[in-house]
Amino acid sequence: MALSDEQLDSLRTVLTRNDVLMEVLTRTAALDLPGWYVTAGCLFQTVWNVVTGRPPTHGIKDYDVFYFDAGDLSWEAEDAVIRAGREVFAGLAAEVEVRNEARVHLWYEEKFGVPCPPYESCEAAIDSFVATTCCLGVRLESDGRWRVYAPHGLSDVFNLVVRPNPVLAPRSVYEAKTARWRREWPELTVLEWPSGAA
């Protein structure tokens, strides 16, 4: 779904209120990871916080950084990037989790109980998040421009609507996540998992 300039400006305006997020974006850009995005909760929860008048970092557990390197699927290669990230993010008042999305299929079933086909890109990984509201990624390009990936648009994010995305993660994951989110942001409208979906 293509975003209008007005939507992109609104998103940038809101996200720049979160100083920690901006620092994560800037420092991740310095890592120069292939196909990277800062993604998931730290983005949509910043929007929820600003829309509801909370401090921009309220309720954000961590900052997720995805990158995509299919050239080396070893844990050692990913761990080297994680350790480099640890140095880059040192001193930041936040937990930053760096993951190679080309490797997710190697461990996903053991963790979540359902198989995950190999991803072709970070965008494909973002597409499979448990709620469409979560499907959002942002990165800073080398020229300072923002690249935003939002396949379901931004209306639900700004309107505090959580909509299930039953393409991969099971219902139990959706219900666990939304239960926590409702405690932090009781204004949310959480839509039910569709009957018949896994």
Q: Cα torsion for 168, 41, 7, 146, to the nearest 10°? A: -100
Cα gap 163→157, rounded to integer Å = 10
- pLDDT score recorded for residue 194: 92
Q: Where are the domains of the chain?
A: 5-190
User: Which tokens belong to 154?
Assistant: 């931004």
Residue type, 178: T
pLDDT of 47 strictly over 80: yes
User: What radius of gyration do the chain's Cα atoms show?
Assistant: 16
Output the average pLDDT for the chain.
94
User: Which tokens belong to 195?
Assistant: 């009957």
User: Which tokens belong to 23?
Assistant: 């620092």
Cα gap 132→94, rounded to integer Å = 25
pLDDT band at 5 (very low <50, low <70, confident <90, very high): confident
pLDDT band at 93 (very low <50, low <70, confident <90, very high): confident
- pLDDT tens profile 107-165: 998 988 889 999 999 999 999 999 999 999 999 988 888 999 999 999 999 999 999 99
- pLDDT score recorded for residue 1: 67
pLDDT of 198 strictly over 60: no
pLDDT band at 79 (very low <50, low <70, confident <90, very high): very high
User: Which tokens belong to 65?
Assistant: 């950084």
Location of structure tokens 């448990």: 130
pTM to 2 decimal places: 0.93
**Three-state DSSP class for residue 162:** strand
User: What is the pLDDT averaged over residues 87-106?
Assistant: 95
